[in-house]
Structure 1
Amino acid sequence: PADEAGVRPALDPDALLATAATAGFLTRDPRGEVRFTAGVYATVLASTTPWPAVAAAHARLAAAVTDPIQAVRHRALATDAVDSALAADLAQAALDCRDRGDRATAAELALLAAERTPAADAEGALRHYESAAADAGRAGRLDLARRAAAAVTDRTARPAPRVHVLLAVIDAAGQALDDVGELFVRAAAEADRDPALLAAVQLRLAWKANLADGDPVRARSAASRSAALAARAGDTETAVAALTMRARLERILGDPAAEHTLAAALRDSGAPHPTGLRNQPHFLRLRHALFDDDLDRARDGLLHLLPLAERSGEAEDVIEVLRSLAETQARSGRCRDAVGYAERAARIAADAGLSPGPSWYTGALAEAAGGSFERARTLAERGVRASREEHDQVFLSRNRYALGHILLITGDPAAAAEVLLDVRELERAQRVADPSVLRWHGDLAEALAATGRQPEAAELIATTTAAARDLGRTGVLAALRRAEAAAAEPAEAERLLRSAADDFAALGLPLEHARTLWALSRTHLRLRRRAAARAALEDALAIFTEAGAAAWQALLTEALDRLLAGASGRALTDAEHRLAALVAAGASNREAAARLFLSVKTVEAMLTRIYRKLDVRSRAQLAAAWADTGEQPA
């Protein structure tokens, strides 16, 4: 941050700052302080200005700012001379920043302290560089972590500090662990036979195996080795983190030992502490509560952890708690809260320079619940690209799932099926066995049934039902019953949907409950029960409205309008009826023409008439309107 006093008198500071703030380059607080929204702007400004002007500006700022931490920072930046007193002031300022959770500034100040320390105090400089690396790792500042690590490895041959700073760089990389792959080999070699150092390296190898390599089995083995090495070294903190990671992987793999391992980690950990919160058992216990649809417990616990994460200054901790809160609130029907938490997580990730893939995934889910399906799709597509670029297999499958879910809901089952089939392959490659972690199974079964691939849908439902029953995943079973209803005879579909709706209501999953009532409304139409269809649709709309599910409200309002207006396939000719059924099931114009022995031009003309009669403007809207008539897909 800088103060307006640093602007040249010849310029109009208010006008310049207002323009920059409007453009999103900086923010201004009520005290008049200015903060660049991205470090690149400050870096470019400093690098293109002559050194005497930069030094003079920092000297003026040191005298003008009211924050003592910023004052000492500007004092240091106003000179390149070594000064033991200034180094001590910088070290104290770094400690103060650390205490108030500002790890990024702490890292910058510790680096300055090291650089201003006289050569005679080599050990003091080394300690400052180590502190800078640790703070940068926790703040996700890869640039600062690399600078500090290079300084340490140049100045000492001792294994412990060398390994610690290499691990700090790995930590700063966040999800992009493939970008620092060579550091794992270096850290393991430097650790030699030291069990504490090897435990720390194995823990990071477990993270990489899961996130970057998509291999939870290998990750579980590395976590187990880390726990054993840490226990041998008497390093309780690393042992707890390793047990927590093993429990996380056991849950993914459908291993019943997961809860026992998590209980062991909780027993050894004591109360949660701010540092590395996302890797502690207290956080994982709340993630498991989310997976188990115990949403009140998950929300209450996450709200308790959020201030701890914020005080720690570890960007990834704050992001993970906010993401979990967004997912919890979306599922429990607090849609506006979900969007707010997701947006906060995305902003912090952007400010810290961390991978956007996880935050975009959560943003897509939150927007699909309480925002707009268009924004949700955009975020999911961005998340897919980011995860591919960073070789993040976990969030590649999650962002693909979010995209497939949105395509299905907005009336494109053919595209949804292709995307979700890709998710199935990704999940199989990662050997994910617990269907509660990422709930793509029901959506894929619905998409397959809607596109005439009922045998594939039935096989998926049968295999997933068996796994969900063995693990006691009630919410997953309810979603599978809803998917089964999509291909069932009307009477059986009604029974399945009523059962699923009751389970969703009991679990406190209002969006799933309302979505199931919408499907029930369509089933009533198939049974020629228009009054019952209207009642189910109105109940679903009321639930979505109370939850603040804006996008769903719009979909169901359109469906109710069609129902009340009597818009149905009966207004079509027989030939139009057959074509509408094929297109609603996902057939292209060329495929429909071949099936109906017509030319593509004739199909295009007929489709224009169908759109006009049904008051729709796209294939996706046609599919939704067709479903609301109660007609069976071709």
Structure 2
Amino acid sequence: LPFILVMPVHNADTKHHFDASDIPGEPKMGTELGLLAADRTPYHLPGEELARLVAAAEDAGWAGRADLARRATRAVLARDASPGDRVRARLAVIDAAGQALGALDETFAYAMADAEGDPALQAAVRLRTAWKHNLSDGDPVRSRDAAAEAGVLARSGGDQVAEAMALTVRARMGRILGDPDAEEILAEALALPAPEVPLGMRNAPQYLAVRHALFDDRNADARRQLLVLLPAVRRTGSAEDVFEVLRSLTEVELRRGRCAAATAHARDALELTVEAGLSPGPAWYLAALAEAMGGGFARAAGYARRGIQASEEEHDQVFLSRGLYVLGLVELATGEAAKAVTTLRRVAELEAAQQVVDPSILRWHGELAEALVLADAPEEAADLQARVRTTALALGRTSVIAALDRARGLCLSAQGDADAAVALLEDTAQSFELLELPLERARTLLALARVERRRRRRAPARAALAAAAEVFARAGAAPWTELAREPSPCPSPGEGAGARPPGSLTEAETRLAVLVAQGASNQEAAAKLFVSVKTVEARLTRIYQKLDVRSRAQLATTLRLG
């Protein structure tokens, strides 16, 4: 496969063997030197010139330099190149494109046509087609099928590295699709011979094993393996390989409650993206995630929006979902429940279109259920929890179930069963502690404080807030620490002015009641709460019935009296 960085270039006069890998961390320079060597090759040595051009194209693909890859490939195609050389040059253009594979259909078609009759080359093309089906098309079924075809071709061509990578893609797609055989397929890939440092990290079996450890909450194991991989890929890997390891380190450190370490890795990943010219969507997602937990909510939202825009422009469905997830998380944390519902519903729609079954990969389900409760839609939240819980139980996704239980506790509280809500949230906090997920435990304690405060048990509410604040502070989760130090994790408008929301109202009803009591019209309240006027009218009718009032003036008086 043309993933290998070591590409020979011969000096036309001395026949000295030049290797781009002799320049550590400078694949771009190797590409430029290869192009220069081709340009200086005497005209009577067309074979050597062509070899140098192909090598330069492959170096550019490895370096992620789309401009240099296209330049070298145009030169190859303008010469009397063999089908194999044309395929390798075109694959370099594909490799250099990063996440932006959606616009390369013609390149794929020409590469597959030129590869006809050569199983190893066909395997290389089909393997990249599998990546495209996942990243750009959002279709894991087609990706899995293309990878299976690539594996057969690679085995026929005697390329065990390509066969291992094809099995890895099948295992990755199998995990997404909830295939119980995914782990066996990954084990088969790991059993094949592979380089000490995996080439093409994203689809190497060793790296997917780390990702599965992360999905399964074996965070200490994942971190240990990543710290072995990081120096190795810094020495011999591509910029994309280094980014992938930094990405996983960021995510695993956040799961372990080490926000400072996660932020440092995310910063390195962003700097690498800028320096190497990688696709920006994944880096902005990572920066947003680290900022949402350990920096500031406003900056996190800004980074997430940049990542969403970049992923939309590159038709990257995978990281579009992730950027939207972080934005929805921030909106939920800052009390913008209606916005969070809209954002996280979009994540749900994207994952449904991508046929994602396993809920442990991108864990948005609990957040959407919580947002639905806060947006006064507990029935919809309960339906979502029940639907996802069935899948999570079947696949053994314990932490996903715990996140659903946190949302279910809030749902029980909204439906008037405070005792059951408190019991469930206390058990859920204990579950997260056993899973060694401190930030999730602290978020559950915030939910517990909200429920206790709603039923006017101030001492237990303060105790839950204090415990949450301690965990957040120890983890370096600055914005969440501030939330835990407020009088309420999600204070209702007007509470600071002395109004105390009646216990019979939901949080969404309380927010509306306060706005109306302060003089807001139905249209103004709808705009501030991001709901329709009809929703405001229906909700206001319920408020009047619950509080036994008939006018805005009576409502204001009732709120003042608590």
TM-score of the aligned structures, taking structure 1 as reference length: 0.77
Q: Which amino acid aligns with 1:372?
A: G
Match of 2:513 among 565, 579, 588: 579
- The match for 1:222 is 146
Distance of 1:240 and 1:170 partners within structure 2: 20
The aligned runs of 1:237-316 (5 Å cut-off) are 237-270=161-194, 272-316=196-240
Q: How far apart are 1:339 and its partner, in Å?
A: 1.0
Are 2:465 and 1:537 equivalent residues in the alignment?
A: yes
- The match for 2:419 is 491
Q: How far apart are 1:271 and its partner, in Å?
A: 5.4
Does the C-alpha gap of structure 1 residues 269 and 503 become closer, same or farther in structure 2, counting only changes over 3 Å?
farther
Q: Which amino acid aligns with 1:239?
A: E
Contact 2:11 2:18 in 1 (8 A): no
- The match for 1:378 is 302
**1:416-463, CA deviations, whole angstroms, 9 ceiling, x for partnerless residues?**
001111111110000000000010101111111111212211111001
**1:49-71, CA deviations, whole angstroms, 9 ceiling, x for partnerless residues?**
xxxxxxxxxxxxxxxxxxxxxxx
Q: How far apart are 1:156 and its partner, in Å?
A: 2.9
- The match for 1:399 is 323
Does the C-alpha gap of structure 1 residues 229 and 414 become closer, same or farther in structure 2, counting only changes over 3 Å?
same
Q: Which amino acid aligns with 1:486?
A: L
- The match for 2:5 is none
Distance of 1:526 and 1:465 partners within structure 2: 27
RMSD in angstroms over aligned alpha carbons? 2.9
Are 2:260 and 1:336 equivalent residues in the alignment?
A: yes
Distance of 1:230 and 1:256 partners within structure 2: 24
Say which is worse superposed, 150-159 or 106-115, in terms of deviation.
Answer: 150-159
Match of 1:96 among 22, 25, 34: 22
Distance of 1:519 and 1:561 partners within structure 2: 8
Q: How far apart are 1:588 and its partner, in Å?
A: 5.2
Match of 1:355 among 272, 276, 279: 279
Q: Which amino acid aligns with 1:580?
A: V
Q: How far apart are 1:157 and its partner, in Å?
A: 3.4
Contact 1:274 1:312 in 2 (8 A): no
Contact 2:483 2:489 in 1 (8 A): no
Q: How far apart are 1:92 and its partner, in Å?
A: 2.2
Contact 2:339 2:530 in 1 (8 A): no
Distance of 1:502 and 1:581 partners within structure 2: 37
Q: Which amino acid aligns with 2:486?
A: E
Distance of 1:462 and 1:593 partners within structure 2: 28
- The match for 1:72 is none
Distance of 2:363 and 2:177 partners within structure 1: 15
Contact 2:99 2:279 in 1 (8 A): yes
Q: How far apart are 1:560 and its partner, in Å?
A: 6.4
Does the C-alpha gap of structure 1 residues 153 and 325 become closer, same or farther in structure 2, counting only changes over 3 Å?
same
Match of 2:484 among 549, 556, 560: 556
Q: How far apart are 1:123 and its partner, in Å?
A: 1.7
Q: How far apart are 1:95 and its partner, in Å?
A: 4.4
Does the C-alpha gap of structure 1 residues 577 and 247 become closer, same or farther in structure 2, counting only changes over 3 Å?
closer
Q: How far apart are 1:102 and its partner, in Å?
A: 2.1
Give the secondary structure class of the aligned counterpart of 2:192: helix
Give the secondary structure class of the aligned counterpart of 2:18: helix
Q: How far apart are 1:127 and its partner, in Å?
A: 1.8
- The match for 2:53 is 129
Contact 1:274 1:308 in 2 (8 A): no
- The match for 2:343 is 419
Q: Which amino acid aligns with 2:350?
A: L
Q: How far apart are 1:107 and its partner, in Å?
A: 1.1
Distance of 1:435 and 1:284 partners within structure 2: 17
Fraction of identical pairs, as percent: 49
Distance of 2:288 and 2:130 partners within structure 1: 28
Q: How far apart are 1:252 and its partner, in Å?
A: 0.4
Contact 2:64 2:239 in 1 (8 A): yes
**1:60-84, CA deviations, whole angstroms, 9 ceiling, x for partnerless residues?**
xxxxxxxxxxxxxxxxxxxxxx983
Distance of 1:442 and 1:542 partners within structure 2: 23
Contact 1:102 1:313 in 2 (8 A): no
- The match for 2:354 is 430
Does the C-alpha gap of structure 1 residues 234 and 562 become closer, same or farther in structure 2, counting only changes over 3 Å?
closer
Give the secondary structure class of the aligned counterpart of 2:104: helix
Distance of 1:341 and 1:425 partners within structure 2: 30
Q: How far apart are 1:405 and its partner, in Å?
A: 1.1
Distance of 1:233 and 1:422 partners within structure 2: 43
Does the C-alpha gap of structure 1 residues 174 and 577 become closer, same or farther in structure 2, counting only changes over 3 Å?
closer
Q: How far apart are 1:587 and its partner, in Å?
A: 5.7
Contact 2:358 2:392 in 1 (8 A): yes
Does the C-alpha gap of structure 1 residues 124 and 593 become closer, same or farther in structure 2, counting only changes over 3 Å?
closer
Contact 1:102 1:312 in 2 (8 A): no
Distance of 1:587 and 1:495 partners within structure 2: 32
Are 2:37 and 1:113 equivalent residues in the alignment?
A: yes
Does the C-alpha gap of structure 1 residues 426 and 587 become closer, same or farther in structure 2, counting only changes over 3 Å?
closer
Does the C-alpha gap of structure 1 residues 400 and 593 become closer, same or farther in structure 2, counting only changes over 3 Å?
closer
Distance of 2:495 and 2:377 partners within structure 1: 27
Distance of 2:199 and 2:446 partners within structure 1: 45
Q: How far apart are 1:374 and its partner, in Å?
A: 0.8
Are 2:373 and 1:449 equivalent residues in the alignment?
A: yes
Distance of 1:387 and 1:159 partners within structure 2: 33
- The match for 2:77 is 153
Q: Which amino acid aligns with 1:579?
A: A
Contact 1:215 1:431 in 2 (8 A): yes
The aligned runs of 1:37-56 (5 Å cut-off) are none
Say which is worse superposed, 322-331 or 305-314, in terms of deviation.
Answer: 305-314
Q: How far apart are 1:221 and its partner, in Å?
A: 0.2
**1:263-290, CA deviations, whole angstroms, 9 ceiling, x for partnerless residues?**
0000003453253222210000001111
Match of 1:521 among 410, 424, 449: 449
Q: Which amino acid aligns with 1:106?
A: G
Q: How far apart are 1:527 and its partner, in Å?
A: 3.5
Does the C-alpha gap of structure 1 residues 114 and 475 become closer, same or farther in structure 2, counting only changes over 3 Å?
same
Give the secondary structure class of the aligned counterpart of 1:269: coil
Are 2:431 and 1:503 equivalent residues in the alignment?
A: yes
Distance of 2:266 and 2:192 partners within structure 1: 32
Say which is worse superposed, 247-256 or 121-130, in terms of deviation.
Answer: 121-130
Q: Which amino acid aligns with 1:128?
A: R
Distance of 1:93 and 1:170 partners within structure 2: 23
TM-score of the aligned structures, taking structure 2 as reference length: 0.87
Q: Which amino acid aligns with 1:476?
A: V
Contact 2:201 2:244 in 1 (8 A): no
Q: Which amino acid aligns with 1:319?
A: F
Does the C-alpha gap of structure 1 residues 534 and 124 become closer, same or farther in structure 2, counting only changes over 3 Å?
same
Contact 2:338 2:531 in 1 (8 A): no
Distance of 1:560 and 1:368 partners within structure 2: 19
Q: Which amino acid aligns with 1:524?
A: E
- The match for 2:399 is 475
Contact 1:538 1:560 in 2 (8 A): no
**Runs of 5+ unmatched residues, structure 1:** 1-81, 614-630
Does the C-alpha gap of structure 1 residues 110 and 539 become closer, same or farther in structure 2, counting only changes over 3 Å?
same
Give the secondary structure class of the aligned counterpart of 1:189: helix
Give the secondary structure class of the aligned counterpart of 1:92: strand
Residues paired across the two proteins, number: 519
Does the C-alpha gap of structure 1 residues 560 and 102 become closer, same or farther in structure 2, counting only changes over 3 Å?
same
Q: How far apart are 1:139 and its partner, in Å?
A: 0.9
Q: Which amino acid aligns with 2:346?
A: D
- The match for 2:475 is 547
Distance of 2:268 and 2:246 partners within structure 1: 7
